[in-house]
Chains A and B, each alone.
Chain A
Amino acid sequence: MSSVYIVGADLIGFGRFPARSVPDLAAEAALLALDDCGLSIRDVQALYCGNLYQSAAMVGQRMLREIGMTGIPVVNVANACATGATALREAWIAIRAGVCELALAVGVEQMDKGLLGAGAGAGFVAEGVIGSDTMPAMFALIGQEHTRRYGTTFEQFARVAVKNHHHATLNPKAMYRVETPLAEVMNAPMIAYPLTRPMCSVNVDGAAAAVLASEAAVRRLGLRARGADPCLGDGERPLGAARAGHGGLQRGDAARGALGLGAGRAGAARSGPRGTARLLRDRRARSLREPRAVLRRRGRRADR
């Protein structure tokens, strides 16, 4: 069976956008991902759209109404925290099965403030009487299971949040981008022990999209030079290894530039499967060697 490639991926800047619609957020992400690989919505043969809060509202079809009603099959996916990942997996399955060659996977959510969970219904309210259904309380119990098994401490859990907040400072699309030192995390208001407020995910609006392609489509559309990796299930590489550069890559020379390849080697790399493998290998080695900033500079240069 041939491999499946992620040829384009991007996400919108996360934040709160009460004036915008869910399909609108999804459309922005979809267009960014298509731009990332230089393709059009007209190239897309199937859409897998992940959204939880409007799971009965046909978000995928409404998104296509905004960016291109091309008549392709649409599947709306809802799977709790794994909703977007499931949309991606379904796109992968469709291509892997040979049903289509190029699919778009989108994950989008627009959330209210406040604790996630079941909330109060009519009649008897179990919250507080028979445990708690808030997400922080549920995940606190899961954390406590880790403590039970491994002796994990409050401080160790807090350090995970410190690390995650640090990562956000490096991500221009994150909503909060502030360093959050250990003392601040540990002294913040407790939500459900051992989780303080900065250890809980912020409710946020956002969307991300990925364009997946079969090996044949990658060849036909000339996407090889983008250095897309086979993804998921091939057992070779984690999904996160799918991209080297960052944003707005084009086919051809610009993409090769973004991947840090000289023109001479790029010519060889394009000559066939073996060349592609070398390209991927070289790129991986390079991305391990070179600091992120260098890759980012290359990406910017390629954009011009």
Chain B
Amino acid sequence: MNPRLVPLIILAIVCTGCPATLTPTTMTAQSPALDRRGTTDVLVTVFGATDISKTKPIHLTDDGYGQALRDSLEQSRLFRRALSDSVGQYQLQATVIHLDEDIFGINMTASIAVTYVLARTAPKELIWEKTVTTSHTSGMSDSVIQITRLQRATEGAVRKNIEQAIQGIAQFKLE
């Protein structure tokens, strides 16, 4: 191989990198926790994350987003438990409807829009519905690797989104 190609290959790797899938841990929001834990359970389901991100450089999955949302809810103490596969007194559904990730640039920005619906299961009642849009920008101080900056940006946008959703849910007195 031509030795002059080596710096170009290294530069290309630094500038682009490989697609990555976000893990729940890095998307979990750190919201202020209530003094007393809630007494009800919530079933959490996520749609659209896998589908909408499959053509993006940074991938989300429904399972990963769901786990991050459940972990964030557990940490906030709004509910006794956040469930993935059994029925609770409440049901929270999150549908990812928009995801935008920068491809070029020094500062990388990601934005995400998620529609949240919270309902009581018995009696059936819609409690809260809102589309939350958030964005986050990562700069060179986060990483010199472009794909890592974009990963940090997407993680930040998701964390902010979940934080705002939890703030929205926290307005209600959940029995």
Tell me, yes or no, whether A binds B: no
Residues of B within 8 A of A (CB): none
Give residues in A with beta carbon < 8 Å to B. none
